[in-house]
Each structure stands twice: as C-alpha cells, then as structure tokens.
Structure 1
Amino acid sequence: MNQQEILSFIEQNDIKKIKYAFADIDGILRGKIIGRQKFIDGLSDSYGFCDVVWGWDSSDMPYDNGRTTGWHSGYPDAPVRLDLATFRQIPWEENIPFFLADFSQPEGNDLAACPRSLLKRIAAQCQSMGFHAEYAQEFEWFNFRETPQSLQEKDFRNLEPLTPGMFGYSILRPSLESAFYHDLFDLLSEFDIPLEGLHTETGPGVYEAAITHDDVVRAADKAILFKTAVREIAYRHGVVATFMAKWNAHLPGCSGHIHQSLWNQDKTNNLFYATDQPDRMSELMKQFIAGQLHCLPHITPMFAPTINSYKRLVEGAWAPTTVTWSVDNRTTALRVLNRNENYTRVEHRVSGSDSNPYLAIAAALASGLYGIRHQLTLDIPASVGNGYVDKQHGVLPANLHEATKAMANSPIATELFGSEFVDHFTRTRDWEWRQYVSQVSDWELKRYFEII
C-alpha cells in the first residue's frame, strides 16, 4: 500500500497504535510503539530516536572507543524514517501494524552505522550495473523449554531442550510440539515471511527454516524479522529460541546460509546459468564467486560477528574453514547449486545464524559485485571431496580479533563499504573482543584454580 492507502487503512480500522523497529549493528531489532498522531506527523519528516543505539553493544554497554556517538556528543536524537513498503500486521499481537525503519536520508547523507542503509546502497549499485539480485537466508536454531527468567536462575546451565536426542529431518519429533511447529509456519507466513521449508536438524530441539527468496533488501528484511518473530512465537509456547552460532561445544553449530543469484532487470533470465558452459556456470557467476573468495578474508566479521561465531567455524562441524568453492559440496565456503535455471544459485556457507542479515547479505552481494567490476578470473579450482583439507588458497580467520584486525586494515573493505562504516563496525567488533578477553571463564577456573 502507498502512504494514502495506509493512512486510510489506519483511519477506517480506528488503529490507535503502530509498532516500528530497525536493526542495530548486532542485528538486534530496536523500536517503539507510537500513537496514531505521532505516526502521521513523522511520515512527512522523520522520528527522533536516541543515537545511543549506535553507541552501545548488545547488552546496552556504551562503547569506550566509539566515534559515531558517545559521551563526547551527548547522545542526541538521530532521524529515523519508516519504510512504508515494509508494512505488515503482527498476527500474534492483535494484528498491530508494523513497519521496518532505517536511518537513510533523502539527501543521501545516510548514517554510516545503519546496516539497512548500507544494504540499500549496495543494492542500488547492483541495480545500476544492470542486475536484479535475488536472495534468501536460511537459519538453524535451538529451542528450549525455558523462560528468560529460568535461563538467568539456571545461569544458562542444565537447560531442557524442546526434544531429546539427535534426529535430523524427523517427521516424528515435530508432532510432540505440533502447535508450536505449525504456528511457526503459519504465523510467519501471515507476517509476510513465507517459508520454503521447516524441519528438524540434527541435535536436541533444533529446527531449520528456509525463507522464500526475494529481492535482496526484502530478503534481508524477512531474515531480520524472522529471528525476532521466531523468538516471540516461541515465547507464546513456553519456549526460548537461541540463534547462537554454537551454544554447546558437543553439538553442531547453527548456520545462516545465504542463497544468492543475479537476474536481468525483468527477472526473466538467471544470469548465473549457462547450458553451454562447464558445470552450467556462466562467466558472470564465475566472476561473482571469484570476488566473494577474494574478499572473504577481508570481511569475515560481516558473516561471523561474535566471539561465539568462530566456535562454529571449525573443521568437521558442517561449517567451512577454508577459502574454497565447489558444486554441491557442503564442506566448502561457497556451494554452487545449478540443476536448473530457476534454482541456480550460490550458497554462501560462512554466515552463522548469529549474523546480522543486513550486513551478511550486504557483504555477500558487495563482494560478488567486486568480482564482476574487476572482471576477476575464478582461478581457484573447485574443491573435490573434503574442503577442510583444501587450504592452499587460504583459511578463514581463527577468531574475532584476527578477523577484525584484517578488516580494519583492508583497503578492499573500505572500497566495498566506505571508510566510515568500516571504522565504526570494526571498532564495535574490537570492543566485543576486549569484553571477552577481560573475563575469567569456567574452563579457566576448572583447569587452573587448584593445581596450577
């Protein structure tokens, strides 16, 4: 609906409150409920929102190294604008109207820290090159029969999974929680996040969902909303969902794979597919893959943004560790799927479920476009067999500190995203690393307390 249709809808249905949210640098939705008149007044200009949301971490702790905002600036308001094209109603909250927002500005002076604004800028570059980017993200996550209060009381130990044991692709296990399982599928669809599939993965209480593909910005919108929507639907069933990349050292991690393809502008021709080429891979697809592989070591924090991300990126854990690609091989960083034109795509397997969809998808698209702009040659051969041992073309950073340092010093990252964004983002990741290394872990206590 356009603006006038939305205003008419709100008046005709006597709607008195509207909810909106935007994604911060960690991919956490921050937002408000506002009254009808406030909503109407802000449409012509913007809404003031305290810019502390760009100056603190996921636990609301202010950064000590920030430049975007901080005590030095007094944390003023920044103008946030609703994207009316994202209008939907929340079916589990009495169909309250909902909008996504960002800090893009009409004059083009976007807030560099805003992830959605960054993706919109990359998407515009893609369109200017003559391409339509079609994307989708899929997620794995664990479910527990807990509450936020019980998590705190248990100190996050001895948690009760929704179902026991390892049972991937089970038809039996979901029947134990059929109301929750079907609510996920049905309510997400009503919330304009239709799923291609939903099933159990291997691990106690773990599900995987594939979101239906869409235009790149709408795909990221759906992905960011998916993670919060799943948590909210889970709450209604006495369940807590976690999208940590690796919540337990003895269980598989949780991926956030990104599926990506480029089409012509009218979406009639998949530009990655070529019947007359080896493996049906077009020259454009090869350049796209070459760009992603070339840029990957420079921008890894965009796909793996937390300390925990790197606990998933280990050998033999269904997540990549090497700069590799292949045709239908789940041990490499990039996996080509191209049995027919409609579904030909490149699956980026580095991203975890803890990723910020806007940043992960922006990184994937920008690095692929980099390969096309620079006409890179795909000189890395396809991996055959075990991609974990195929290390001659590079390995992924081992931890967030190593990855952040590489990105902060990378001219490639600056070319892709601009110096302001790279400076802000890497400062936040440096902060995250310093919070981690200052802590004393249970492992250290058990290992050293008595005998060292």
Structure 2
Amino acid sequence: MPPAKKEVRPSGRGGGRRTPAFLKNYRGVRNWKEASQWLEWRSIEDIECITPDQAGVARGKMMPSTKFTSNTSLALPSAPFMMTISGDYPEDGNGFEYPEDDGDLKLVPDLSTLSLVPWETDPTAQVICDLVHQDGRLVEFTPRNVLRRVLGEYTRMGLKPVVAPEIEFYLVRKNPDPDYPLTPPVGRSGRPIAGGSGYSIAGVNEFDELIDDIYHFSASQGLEIDTLIHEEGAGQLEINLRHGDPIELADQVFMFKRTIREAALKHDMYATFMAKPIQGQPGSAMHIHQSIVDKKTGKNVFTAEDGSETEAFGHFIGGMQKHVPAALVMFAPYVNSYRRLTQAASAPVNTKWGYDNRTTAFRVPRSDPAARRVENRIPSSDANPYVALAASLACGLIGIQQKIRPDAPVGTTANEDEIDLPRGLLEAVELFENDEQLRAMLGDVFVSTYAAIKKAEFETFMEVISPWEREYLLLNV
C-alpha cells in the first residue's frame, strides 16, 4: 500500500506535544490502537462498517465509534451476498444452494481502509470489511475474497499484478419515475448539456462546483484522481485512477462510486454508472490497464532486458482472447450492459488486440518498455470492480500458465467485423458456467452463486413490458 495521504490537524487537539504521524493520515491505520486514537482525534461519533455485495453495493452496519473499538464482534447473514439487484433470491440448482440456516458471517474490518465519510453532517468514518466464516475461512463467493483468490494464484507464481481503472459515468437530471427516460442535466450555462463534448474543458467547467466537491470528498478519503475529462456523451465524465495494487484500486472504485453519487445528489442531480443510460448516447465503460511485475526484481514481466516484448506478454493477451468471452458476464453483468456492446460503436465486441487501437478489445497503449501494459476495453462501468478485476486478471494468468499464443495484432478498424462475444446475458452465463479453467481459478462456489444470481435477474427483467413492445406490438400484431 502506498504511503497514506496527510491532512491538516484539527484545531484544538494535541496542545504543544508532537502529533503522531499516523493521526494525520487521511486513509488507513496499522492496528486497533491506532484506530482508536485516529477516531478520537477526529471526534468521530459513528462508523460505517461496509463491504461490497455481488453488485458492488455497500452492505454492512453502522455503530458508535466507541463500540467499534471495544472488540465487538461484527456479523452479517449470507443472504445479502446471494441477492439479485432487485432484492430477490435465485432458485437452488446447478451447484447453487441457498444455506438452510442463513447463518452469520463475520465482518472483519480492514483497518488500512479506515477513512472519513466527508458528506455526512455528523463526524462519521467508514471502513471496508472482509467476510469470513465462523472458523475464520474466507467466504468464497464474496467479491473482495474472489479477487484475493486470483491474486493468490499470482503470488504462488512470484508475480504481482498492477492495475489502473478508468471509470465513465453520466450526470443526469433527477428521475424519480423510472417510466420516463433519463435526460442530461442543466449546467452552469443554464442550458441542458449536449453530446459531442469529448475532452471539452468547457464541458467539464459546466459542473465546476460539483467537480470541486468530488475532488474535496476524494481528498478527504485519501483517494487519488489522476485525471478527469468530459467524454462524448451528454453529461458523461470519466475519472482515471493512478495505477497500483488490485485490491486497493478495487476499493477505490467502490468508494469513488459512493463519492460521486453523493456529490451529484448534493447538486440536485443523479450520477449513474449504468452501461447505457440514455438512448442514442455512448455507453459507459470501466477500462482496466494491466501489467505484471516480478515480486523479486520489481520489473515488468511483459518487457525483456532489451526492451522487447516477452512471451509472457503474448501469453497474457492469448489468455484474454480465449477466456474473456466466458468471463463476459463479470464485465457486463446486466441486461442493460449488452446495449452498450454493439457493432461499429466505441465499445468493442471482438476479442482482437492491437497497438494503440481503440477498436480492439485489448489495446496496448504507447508507452516506455518499462510501462508496457494491456488495456481491457470490454468492461462496462456497471461492473463490480472486484469482480471485473478478478475476471480480467484470471483470464490473463490462465494464458500465462497455459502458454496460450495470441492472434496477430490488428492495425485496422476491428469493431465492424464479426461479433466475438455473447450477445445477451443468458448466453454469457452459459459460457461462464462451462469454462472449467476459469471456474478453477475463481472457485466453484463463486461461479455457481454468481451464475444463479444473473439468471434470476434475467427472469425479473422478463417480467417487465417495455415501451418498445407497447409501441410496435400493441396495435400491429
């Protein structure tokens, strides 16, 4: 974990004595003693103990900070981690069984994630927790633990992945009635935001005050934004995060989503990470840049001593080409996700790769040899960051283990050719369940649980009659 960010000491505390350095950290402490002092120094009243569910939604408990530091045992039932996005539960079958007792799972706080909740009016802190069974074993089907399982496979090979996510999202007007389409917000100019503003500074400036709050909320939590841009869509922004450890970066995306939503609400609008929220506008992606370093030497294993590409680099791409179609449901988890994945659009529907070619699924950006990396452009921004990172890194590692050779790189437009990916959610789930190498990497319990949830979500979607059906079928069939 990189050094934690510092903050200015609250006034009136510490007197003339020297303040311990860890108290000034925006994010993270080393042990419970430091946690108690950190909370007391900030006069924290409440603490949110949170963990991501399968959709990346924060689940957990809130409690007084004094209770949090008094060896209180924290527990949650397993039910929230087997729940669909609509709050339903899947049927048993195909390896999935809902636990009859629905017994408690333990919440174990990761104190390196302790930070403020800057949008709360009362002094409040938050901490991300892991879930373990009563005997201490990691709960196999929870997202943070699935990513940790994949990273364990890298560790056994003496490797460490480095990732950098890029997250796109839309700002939209408040929409309390879901029967009405989403519309772009009004910026400081007083006019609704229009599309076609890619990389426009004026487009970013339309939301100056909101973006200031995003920066302020992020800094208060020790979250690092690398860059922020206006994307092509109307009111569509993108935040790029600095590269680092996959667990830490997944935590940051998890926290950024909460942060951006809260900042938007403060300014009377919604922030949405739906893959395709507005008809006729571009979809929102979560591109993932990936490289791998040797744990002993710290050098990028994609680059040889002379600066050339290594076999591991090609094998990583080969693994992604072969297994990403089966992992697509982890990158595109909802029916709406597949509205983004269409031919001749900016989102790739192929499994090709190329040098600085944004029409391919796997792009190798221009860089110095030491920074050689592979960008996975398939994931949408609605994906759970822990699940998406686990899937992407698992596919690449299978390629390295199996020495899978990639196809030749593509230097032309690739997104107008045949579609190499599943076209819908059920097709994606079927491929996911049947990829034995991916199943072995991710674990049977996770695969069966995640697949059951996605099937149940599809059935819930099929209960809804869409405007398209009313428009074209009502009086014509």
Shift of 1:328: 0.7
CA distance in 1, matches of 2:102, 2:180: 33
* Corresponding position: 1:98 with 2:122: no
Q: Is the 8 A contact 2:105 2:132 kept in 1?
A: no
Unaligned runs of 5+ in 1: none
Q: Which one of the candidate residues 404, 425, 439 is aligned to 2:464?
A: 439
Q: Is the 8 A contact 2:288 2:377 kept in 1?
A: yes
CA distance in 2, matches of 1:16, 1:158: 38
- 1:93-172 to structure 2, matched below 5 A, reads 93=120, 96-104=124-132, 109-146=137-174, 151-153=175-177, 155-157=179-181, 159-162=183-186, 163-166=192-195, 167-172=197-202
Mark the CA change 1:343 to 1:92 in structure 2 (over 3 Å): closer, same or farther: farther
Match of 1:336 in 2: 364
Q: Which one of the candidate residues 162, 172, 193 is aligned to 2:223?
A: 193
Match of 1:202 in 2: 232
* AA at the equivalent of 1:257: H
Q: Which one of the candidate residues 380, 403, 421 is aligned to 2:428?
A: 403
CA distance in 2, matches of 1:398, 1:138: 24
Secondary structure of residue in 2 paired with 1:207: strand
Q: Which one of the candidate residues 340, 346, 370 is aligned to 2:398?
A: 370
Q: Is the 8 A contact 2:352 2:362 kept in 1?
A: yes
Shift of 1:382: 0.8
Secondary structure of residue in 2 paired with 1:257: strand
Q: Is the 8 A contact 1:65 1:431 kept in 2?
A: no
**TM norm structure 2:** 0.87
Mark the CA change 1:266 to 1:240 in structure 2 (over 3 Å): closer, same or farther: farther
Q: Is the 8 A contact 2:275 2:336 kept in 1?
A: yes
* AA at the equivalent of 2:38: F
CA distance in 2, matches of 1:359, 1:158: 27
Q: Is the 8 A contact 1:119 1:361 kept in 2?
A: yes
Secondary structure of residue in 1 paired with 2:277: coil
Match of 1:289 in 2: 317
CA distance in 2, matches of 1:81, 1:247: 35
Match of 2:13 in 1: none
* Corresponding position: 1:345 with 2:373: yes
Secondary structure of residue in 2 paired with 1:387: coil
Q: Which one of the candidate residues 92, 110, 121 is aligned to 1:83?
A: 110
Q: Which one of the candidate residues 337, 354, 378 is aligned to 1:326?
A: 354
Q: Is the 8 A contact 1:68 1:113 kept in 2?
A: no
- CA-based RMSD of the aligned residues comes to 2.2
Shift of 1:334: 0.5
**TM norm structure 1:** 0.91
Aligned residues: 440
1:249-299 deviation per Cα after TM superposition (whole angstroms, max 9, x unaligned): 31100001111111122674222234746xx42221111111111111221
Unaligned runs of 5+ in 2: 1-28, 187-191
Match of 2:11 in 1: none
Mark the CA change 1:341 to 1:384 in structure 2 (over 3 Å): closer, same or farther: closer
CA distance in 1, matches of 2:221, 2:260: 11
Secondary structure of residue in 1 paired with 2:256: helix
Match of 2:68 in 1: 39
* AA at the equivalent of 2:211: Y
Mark the CA change 1:18 to 1:267 in structure 2 (over 3 Å): closer, same or farther: farther
Q: Is the 8 A contact 1:298 1:412 kept in 2?
A: no
Mark the CA change 1:48 to 1:42 in structure 2 (over 3 Å): closer, same or farther: farther
* Corresponding position: 1:428 with 2:458: no
Match of 1:227 in 2: 257
Match of 2:83 in 1: 56
CA distance in 1, matches of 2:180, 2:283: 17
Mark the CA change 1:367 to 1:42 in structure 2 (over 3 Å): closer, same or farther: farther
CA distance in 2, matches of 1:88, 1:33: 14
* Corresponding position: 1:28 with 2:62: no
